Amino acid sequence: MVSTVSSAVGHFVDREAISCFDNIEKRYGDEDGVTTTMIKRLNDYRQNFEVMALAGGLGVLAGLGFIVRDLVRILPNRDVPVPVDLADVPHEVLLGGTAAAQATEAVIRVSELGPVPYTAVLTAALLPTLVLMLVAVCFAVLGRSFASGDFFAPGGLRAMKVTSITLVFGSVVIPTLQVMAANSALASVGVHFGQRMGTDWVLFAAGILLGTVWYAFRRGARLERDTEGLV
């Protein structure tokens, strides 16, 4: 399975690209002293990038596992767990029969959902995992590109761009779908109270940050193309 993910990621990376690590080794590989130490450090960096790519691949595999788990829970349409936000209507509960606490989130189990509520619940459960899997793919692609010494590979730039846009849209779409799923599940058991719409600011900030990094790398790629043959 890991080899399958690795080969899929490899399609984003130009295997024939000339590595900056290889160029340094060819030029200075026979010298001793400071240059040898530098080469060792570059090899350490390459190993770190390979670990980054491996971590991204493992993240994809973990995401597939979570998707399978959610499908097993939801597809039968029996006792489907649906998270419900109770922040606007907190409920007091007793912990251990003595300690009072406020519950701001609950999980209700519903069965035989209609087509529209069922679709909302299924999408709300799967979409966050799919977004995180896309982030893992981005890490894997960048790790492979950096390990090969091609820091401005087109595949890496595309992965960053797509992931940043997905994170920004997901910061709005995911909470909206979760509210729709919760309202549909509550309505199916005869309970009606409005869920608060919101934005996942963590995802939004992550998308903006990654988009900024993508823009910087795109400028670097242009500079690299413009200076080819000058050195």
Instruction: Identify the residue with better confidence: 13 or 105.
Output: 105
Residue 89 lies in a domain: no
Instruction: State the average pLDDT for the chain.
Output: 78
Examine residue 47 and state whether it is found in any structural domain, yes or no: yes
Predicted confidence (pLDDT) at residue 183 exceeds the cutoff of 90: no
Q: pTM to 2 decimals?
A: 0.72
pLDDT of residue 172: 93
Mean pLDDT of 114-131: 91
Q: Tell me if 110 is assigned to some domain.
A: no
- Check pLDDT > 50 for residue 88: yes
Range of 66's domain? 2-75+115-226
**What local confidence, expressed as pLDDT, does residue 11 receive?**
47
Q: With a cut of 90, say whether residue 169 has pLDDT above it.
A: yes
- Report pLDDT digits (tens) over 18-58: 455 555 455 445 445 445 555 566 666 677 778 888 888 89
Residue 84 lies in a domain: no
Task: Report yes or no on 85 lying in a domain.
Answer: no
214-231 residue pLDDT tens: 999 888 888 877 776 554
Q: Give the least confident one: 110-114, 144-148, 204-208.
A: 144-148
pLDDT for res 13: 45
With respect to residue 7, please indicate whether it lies within any of the assigned structural domains.
yes
- Domain count for the chain: 1
In a domain, 190, yes or no: yes
Q: What pLDDT is stored for residue 97 in this prediction?
A: 63
Q: What pLDDT score does 20 carry?
A: 52
Residue 103 lies inside a defined structural domain of this protein? no
Q: What are phi and psi of 178, to 5 degrees?
A: -65, -40
